[in-house]
Amino acid sequence: MKTLVFVEHADGKLKRTSLEAICYAKAMGGDVVALALGTLDSQSLAEAGKYGASRALHASDAKFDHPVIQAYSSAVAQAMQQEGCDHLVLANSPLGGPVAAKVAVRIGAGFVSNVIELPSTANGFMVKRSIYTGKAFAWVEVKSAKKVIAIRKNAAEIKESGAPVSPVSFTPSLTDKDFNTKILSTDKATTAVSLPEANIVVSGGRGMKGPEHWAPLEELAATLGAATGCSKPVSDMGWRPHHEHVGQTGVKVAPQLYIAVGISGAIQHLAGVNSSKCIVVINKDPEAPFFKAADYGIVGDAFDVLPKLTQALKSAK
Amino acid sequence: MKILVCITHVPDTTSRISFVDNNTKFDATGVQYIIGPYDDYALARAVELKETLGATVTVLNVGLAESDPTLRKALAIGADDAIRVNAEPADSYFVASQIAEQAKGFDLVLMGRESIDFNGGVVHAMVADMLGIPSVSPVMKLDIEGTTVKMAKEIEGGKEYVEANLPLVAGCQEPIAEWKIPNMRGIMSARTKPLKVVEPKAVDTLAKTTKFELPPPKGAVKMISAEQVEELVTRLKTEAKVL
Same-domain pairing of A211 and A163:
no
B36 touches chain A (CB under 8 A): no
Same-domain pairing of A106 and A231:
no
pLDDT at A144: 93
Mean pLDDT, chain B, rounded, equals: 94
CB count, 10 Å around CB of A268? 18
Neighboring chain A residues of B124 at a CB cutoff of 8 Å: 98
**Min Cα separation A33/chain B (Å):** 24
pLDDT of B111 above 90: yes
Taking alpha carbons only, the member of A273, A196, A241, A99 closest to residue B175 is A241
In a domain, B197, yes or no: yes
pLDDT per residue as tens, chain A (317 positions): 999 999 999 889 999 999 999 999 999 999 999 999 999 999 999 999 999 999 999 999 999 998 999 999 999 999 999 999 999 999 999 899 999 999 999 999 999 999 999 999 988 999 999 999 888 999 999 999 999 999 998 899 999 999 999 999 999 999 999 999 999 999 887 667 888 889 999 999 999 999 999 999 999 999 999 999 999 999 999 999 989 999 988 888 999 999 999 999 998 899 899 889 999 999 999 999 999 999 999 999 999 999 999 999 999 87
Q: What is the ipTM of this complex?
A: 0.90
As a whole number of angstroms, the distance between CA B118 and CA B116 comes to 6
Same-domain pairing of A154 and A215:
no
Partner-chain contact A131 B119, CB within 8 Å: yes
Same-domain pairing of A102 and A236:
no
Same-domain pairing of A127 and A231:
no
Nearest chain B alpha carbon to A190: B157
Cα torsion at A192, A198, A199, A204 (round to 10°)? 70
**Min Cα separation A48/chain B (Å):** 22
Task: Find all residues with CB under 8 Å of B172, minimum gap 6, and list them.
Answer: B38, B39, B41, B42, B45, B110, B111, B112, B113, B137, B138, B139, B142
Same-domain pairing of A157 and A223:
no
B210 touches chain A (CB under 8 A): yes
Q: What CATH number has the domain bearing residue B48?
A: 3.40.50.620
In a domain, A187, yes or no: no
**Full residue range of the structural domain in which residue A218 is found:** 200-316
In a domain, B218, yes or no: no
Neighboring chain A residues of B150 at a CB cutoff of 8 Å: 184
Radius of gyration of chain A (CA): 21
Vertex B201 angle, CA B66 and B27, to 5°: 30
As a whole number of angstroms, the distance between CA B234 and CA B219 comes to 19
In a domain, A191, yes or no: no
In a domain, B217, yes or no: no
**Full residue range of the structural domain in which residue B25 is found:** 2-211
B184 touches chain A (CB under 8 A): no
Taking alpha carbons only, the member of B104, B63, B79, B9 closest to residue B200 is B63
Q: Into how many domains does chain B fold?
A: 1
**Min Cα separation A30/chain B (Å):** 22
**Min Cα separation A162/chain B (Å):** 27
Cα torsion at A236, A306, A298, A203 (round to 10°)? 30
Q: Closest to A181 (Cβ–Cβ): which among B92, B134, B243?
A: B134
Partner-chain contact A136 B229, CB within 8 Å: no
pLDDT at A6: 98
The secondary structure of B40-69, three-state, reads: HHHHHHHHHHHHHHCCEEEEEEEECHHHHH
As a whole number of angstroms, the distance between CA B69 and CA B195 comes to 11
Vertex A93 angle, CA B107 and B104, to 5°: 15
Last residue of a domain, one of A178, A208, A223: A178
The secondary structure of A227-263, three-state, reads: EEEECHHHHHCCCCCHHHEECCCCECCCCCEEEEECC
Task: Find all residues with CB under 8 Å of A212, minimum gap 6, and list them.
Answer: none
Partner-chain contact A94 B138, CB within 8 Å: yes
Q: Closest to A110 (Cβ–Cβ): which among B154, B155, B206?
A: B206
Which B positions 40-79 lie with beta carbon below 8 A of chain A?
A: none
Taking alpha carbons only, the member of B49, B54, B55, B47 closest to residue B78 is B47
The tens digit of pLDDT for each residue in B192-215 reads 999 999 999 999 888 999 999 998
Q: What mean pLDDT do residues B54-78 have?
A: 97
Last residue of a domain, one of A144, A178, A212: A178
B212 touches chain A (CB under 8 A): yes
Partner-chain contact B158 A187, CB within 8 Å: yes
pLDDT of B123 above 70: yes
Partner-chain contact B210 A111, CB within 8 Å: no
In a domain, B122, yes or no: yes
**Min Cα separation B204/chain A (Å):** 10
Taking alpha carbons only, the member of A115, A129, A69, A92 closest to residue A18 is A92
pLDDT at A188: 83
In a domain, B235, yes or no: no
pLDDT of B64 above 70: yes
Most B-contacting residue of A111, A115, A143, A291 (CB-CB within 10 A), to test interface? A111
Nearest chain A alpha carbon to B243: A257
Q: Into how many domains does chain A fold?
A: 2
Partner-chain contact A298 B229, CB within 8 Å: yes
Give the start-end residues of each E strand in chain A: 2-6, 9-10, 13-14, 31-37, 55-59, 87-91, 110-115, 125-131, 136-142, 147-151, 168-169, 182-188, 200-204, 227-230, 257-261, 278-283, 296-299
In a domain, A184, yes or no: no
The b/e string for A230-248 (b: 16+ C-beta within 10 A; e otherwise) is bbbebbeeebbbbbbbbbb
Q: What mean pLDDT do residues B150-163 have?
A: 91
In a domain, B45, yes or no: yes
Q: Closest to B129 (Cβ–Cβ): which among A102, A141, A308?
A: A102
- Proportion of chain B above pLDDT 90, given as a percent: 89
**Min Cα separation B78/chain A (Å):** 23
B115 touches chain A (CB under 8 A): no
Contact B231, B224 (CB under 8 A): yes
Q: What CATH number has the domain bearing residue A131?
A: 3.40.50.620
**Min Cα separation A222/chain B (Å):** 14
pLDDT at A275: 87
Contact B136, A182 (CB under 8 A): no
Partner-chain contact A298 B225, CB within 8 Å: yes
In a domain, A194, yes or no: no
In a domain, A48, yes or no: yes
Same-domain pairing of A70 and A205:
no
